[in-house]
Chains A and B, each alone.
Chain A
Amino acid sequence: MTKIGIAVFPGSNCDRDVHHVLNNVIGVQADFIWHTKDRIMGYDAMIIPGGFAFGDRLRAGVIAAYSPIVQEVKRMAKDGLPVLGICNGFQILVESGLLPGALIMNESLRFVCRWTEVEVKNNKTPFTSKFAPRQTFGIPVAHGEGRYVANKELLRELRKKDQIVLQYSNDDPNGSSDLIAAICSEEGNVMGMMPHPERASESILAAQGSKNEAITIFRSLVSNLKPKAIA
């Protein structure tokens, strides 16, 4: 039996949504893990969900990056287990150094919540392996600080090492460098994404003209879990 952990911080608010999709839509066991937990055993992957961990005080994600659970997430990442950060989770992964670059205020200087379209640039990661090459799909964003920025050198590096996983297709909601919507670590087992796949995993929630194709992120993840954890 494989199990996925969902990190919960004070202020996380997409934790229950991810929990619902994994348990009720996909049918894989996923549990909430409170941020003070400093030893995580028996989980095959971790998801850091969206929200406003610690109320975005100081800077989005920065306080959470120093919490006990993130130290465990770092260890799990090093061990090669899949780690997915969504929205605020992406911000936390960047702040904790697990992913390069930075996420800053949207170009519009406003929070933006709407559906957009992304294109799969790398379908070799544990989160995208079930997508066709260059597949495009609809997915919503909801963030104030989702503009991914990287300098030229880093961008070159990201491209070279195939770390750009998802790109906005022509419909950039926030002004990200290179239209980046998701990046992964060099090894590919840590991914951060600004759009919300958990909001686009059921057809009834899909916006007009879109489908629930984003569920493939979670399906890919589940198909790549190796049940090797010690209970």
Chain B
Amino acid sequence: MGFLTEKELDYLEENLKRKANEIEQDIVGAEWSEHCSYKSSKKYLRLLPTKGSHVLVGPGYDAGVLEVGDGYVLTVHIESHNHPSAVEPFGGAATGVGGVIRDIIAMGTRPIAVLNALRFAPITGKGKAVAKSKWLFKNVVKGIADYGNCIGIPTVGGEVEFDPSFEDYCLVDVASIGFGRKEDIVANKADEGDIVVLAGGSTGRDGIHGASFASKALEEENRSAVQIPDPFLEKLLLEATMEAVKQGCVKGIKDLGGGGLSCCLSETSDNLGKGFDVELTQVHTREGDMTPNEVMISESQERMLFVTDTSRLRALQSILDKYEIRHSVLGVVQDHQDLVVRHGGKVVAEMPSHLIAHAPLADRKVKRPSYLDKLKSVKQPKTPANLGKVLLSLLSNPTIASKRWIYQQYDHEVGVRTVVKPGMGDAAVIRLDNGKFVAIKLDGNSKHCYLDPYQGTLGCLSEGCRNVICTGAEPIGVVDHLQFGSPEDPEIYWAFTQAISAVVDYCKFMDIPVVGGKVSFYNETAKGPIKPSPVMGTLGLIQSASHITRPALSSGNSIFVIGQTFPEMGGSEYYEYIHNITGGPVPNIDLPVDRKNGNAIQNLIKSGLVTCAHDCSKGGLAVALAEMSIAGSTGFEVDLDVVPSLCRRTDDLLFSESHSRYIVGTKQPEKVRKMLSSADVMFEQIGSAANAIEFAKGKKRLIKLTLKQLQTSFYSLEKVMQ
């Protein structure tokens, strides 16, 4: 009862030179699911630039590894748990966090931070869809909180977007970074006679066919495909693994995730280039009567596979015993390249690991969707009479509003590394042990990506870079998470290829390697597919504590804007949230300009000339200034007439989401002006810190608000979630 297509069954038979039995079909079915095999995306993923000066290990392992100097390394990985979270938000989100953390642990590094990017249908207004969305949102946040808080890894940042295309569904992306010594990175090499040990939670009937469940549209809610979280056990696994790595008693580690033992054993055996001979009756099961099929494809959580040699087996076992973690010797490494699975001594499956681990690639058709041209130009809305009111309403838009209601439920400080805390900066800034800091941020924009997946994806990458640059960092790597509907739909697949092209183009141009990633297809319900939702995670390295910069405006600041504003209103929060318009031209990236502006800001920060920096993104210039004002409890006066712009309309100028723009505050305007002039970027001094919040056009006052008004709107999510 596998999930293999006729064609795949034929391919399997051809390669095995016999028909696969039922267990073999289940093993292969799990591994060849889209979720595990990347059969629709692999061809394109090979195009991504993965090499760079900091990269020690690129994509393809549990996590990417970046060198950060002095013998230290960072590991990073991103995952999603969309289908499970849409069915059972608490457990789905929690096990998503657990899975990504195990990937970091499996590299031999200690996880030091978790982030998440979440997407839901709107939560404001009335009706069944809103109630369902709120329920999903509330429980996803609680699931992430409970898991991270208990295990003691700080949840330091994230982003949330609300859009009607996520009705009855949600996207839950979690990323984690780890930190450790270069010499502790697990080598993953094995020799004949080495021992395969399974440790952690018992194997039960939860998560059966989870990977296959995630590899088709969400049509029925299959709760048994959702796994059950146990953060306490994961904490024990974390400590035991760290101890085992330090004591040098592991030769290979692999976490058990999607596809359970099937994927874990075949991929590890294939990676090591050695055969495994395993006995399933050794697996500690939760229920007595589990069939070999169920044991092989169960996705029960908090399990880890270790490869060790006979001389160090005892040491590994005693560490696991210390933490009271159940473990069993599952089998041995042999000098062939097959996966041999036994049940009570009898061979129940025997196949080449390479065959299992490498699904035949699917050939998908592409077609540019016809809706794109229809949405290219839309009728422009009438300029609202009261633009101050529009600004306040954008600030209270849940996509833009403060996420305090969320991050105060997350322990974001455990580990004593969180320097720039949630809500306090453009990216989270985490202290490393060598005097340096890592900045990390996740960014996505489904609204832009729907109207133009290529430019939208470029935009996510640009925003991520701007975010880490604003904290004082230089971008050193990205992880990409590409989320779409069914790849069997040529229009959706076209959007996927556009997103990949954007990642390739941006990262090659900026010379930033892609160090890891994930593709998630089949994100659709009976109501249709989600909007294309690539989420980018950007990592930056900060060389010195003196470079750390926040967006908080302070009195005495002169305000500069760097970058030009264009009338690119398609997919903007102003069009979508205020006017309910979907369409229009989306912001376009000019790569050389994007790089030049980013470099200029990095140099300004390193020269110690700016007191605050913030990027312009969702909600545009007006929202960015308001956020700086709220962060620093300081007002401002800005003259819109001097802002470098091609906008004819004031509302476009205020709320356009054109990329490559930064706002900085400084006490040394002359020096800043000089430096920006020589950097050959477009910039202007647009105003200064003040008591009230004022936008003018020359002598004409356009918007006047108080700080209190901004705060009330910005901190409104608590009220929505009451």
Task: State the A residues within 8 Å of B (CB).
Answer: 10-11, 13-14, 16-17, 20-21, 34, 50-52, 54-57, 110-114, 140, 142, 144, 196, 198-199, 202, 204-205, 207-208
**Contact flags B391-423 to A (C-beta < 8 A → 1, else 0):** 000000000000000011111111110110100
- Residue of A whose beta carbon sits closest to that of B437: A204
Give the residue of B236, B407, B415 whose beta carbon is less than 8 angstroms from that of A17.
B415
B524: shortest Cβ distance to chain A, in Å?
Answer: 32
Q: Kindly identify, within residues 364 to 414 of chain B, every residue whose CB is under 8 Å from any CB belonging to chain A.
A: 407-414
Residues of A within 8 A of B408 (CB): 110, 112-114
Docked-complex contact B414 and A11, CB < 8 angstroms = no
Residues of A within 8 A of B152 (CB): 13-14, 51-52
Docked-complex contact B410 and A199, CB < 8 angstroms = no
Docked-complex contact B413 and A204, CB < 8 angstroms = no
Docked-complex contact B416 and A202, CB < 8 angstroms = yes
- Residue of B whose beta carbon sits closest to that of A111: B409
A4: shortest Cβ distance to chain B, in Å?
Answer: 17
Docked-complex contact B145 and A10, CB < 8 angstroms = no
Give the residue of A20, A55, A110, A207 whose beta carbon is less than 8 angstroms from that of B416.
A20
Assuming the A-B contacts A13-B235, A204-B419, are A55 and B413 also in contact, with contact meaning beta carbons closer than 8 angstroms in the complex? no
Give the residue of B322, B409, B414, B424 whose beta carbon is less than 8 angstroms from that of A13.
B414
Assuming the A-B contacts A52-B235, A56-B150, A199-B413, are A208 and B545 also in contact, with contact meaning beta carbons closer than 8 angstroms in the complex? no
Q: How far, in angstroms, from A26 to B608 measured CA to CA in the complex?
A: 30
Q: How far, in angstroms, from A72 to B411 measured CA to CA in the complex?
A: 30
Docked-complex contact B421 and A207, CB < 8 angstroms = yes
Residues of A within 8 A of B545 (CB): 204
Is B151's beta carbon under 8 Å from chain A?
A: yes
- A10-B232, A11-B150 are known contacts; what are 16 more A-B pairs with Cβ within 8 Å? A10-B324, A13-B150, A14-B152, A17-B416, A51-B152, A52-B152, A52-B231, A55-B150, A113-B412, A142-B413, A144-B149, A199-B416, A204-B545, A207-B424, A208-B550, A208-B552
Is B323's beta carbon under 8 Å from chain A?
A: yes
Residues of B within 8 A of A208 (CB): 424, 550, 552
A75: shortest Cβ distance to chain B, in Å?
Answer: 24
Docked-complex contact A142 and B414, CB < 8 angstroms = yes
Is B358's beta carbon under 8 Å from chain A?
A: no
Q: At the interface, is chain A mostly helix, strand, loop or mixed?
A: mixed
Docked-complex contact A142 and B411, CB < 8 angstroms = yes
Q: Can you pick out 14 interface pairs between chain A and chain B where the beta carbons lie within 8 Å of each other?
A: A13-B151, A52-B150, A55-B150, A56-B150, A57-B232, A111-B146, A111-B411, A113-B410, A144-B149, A199-B413, A199-B416, A202-B416, A204-B419, A208-B552
Which of B230, B408, B410, B411 has its CB near the most chain A CB atoms (within 10 A)? B411
Is B326's beta carbon under 8 Å from chain A?
A: no
Docked-complex contact B411 and A10, CB < 8 angstroms = no
Docked-complex contact B413 and A205, CB < 8 angstroms = yes
Q: How far, in angstroms, from A13 to B110 measured CA to CA in the complex?
A: 13
Q: How far, in angstroms, from A127 to B250 measured CA to CA in the complex?
A: 43
B478: shortest Cβ distance to chain A, in Å?
Answer: 27
Docked-complex contact A54 and B232, CB < 8 angstroms = yes
Docked-complex contact A204 and B431, CB < 8 angstroms = yes
Residues of B within 8 A of A52 (CB): 149-150, 152, 231-232, 235
B574: shortest Cβ distance to chain A, in Å?
Answer: 30
Q: Kindly identify, within residues 125 to 162 of chain B, every residue whose CB is under 8 Å from any CB belonging to chain A.
A: 145-146, 149-152
Assuming the A-B contacts A10-B235, A144-B149, are A113 and B413 also in contact, with contact meaning beta carbons closer than 8 angstroms in the complex? yes
Q: Kindly identify, within residues 418 to 443 of chain B, every residue whose CB is under 8 Å from any CB belonging to chain A.
A: 418-419, 421, 424, 431
Q: How far, in angstroms, from A14 to B150 measured CA to CA in the complex?
A: 11
Docked-complex contact A140 and B413, CB < 8 angstroms = yes
B407: shortest Cβ distance to chain A, in Å?
Answer: 8
**Contact flags B17-41 to A (C-beta < 8 A → 1, else 0):** 0000000000000000000000000
Q: How far, in angstroms, from A112 to B151 measured CA to CA in the complex?
A: 16
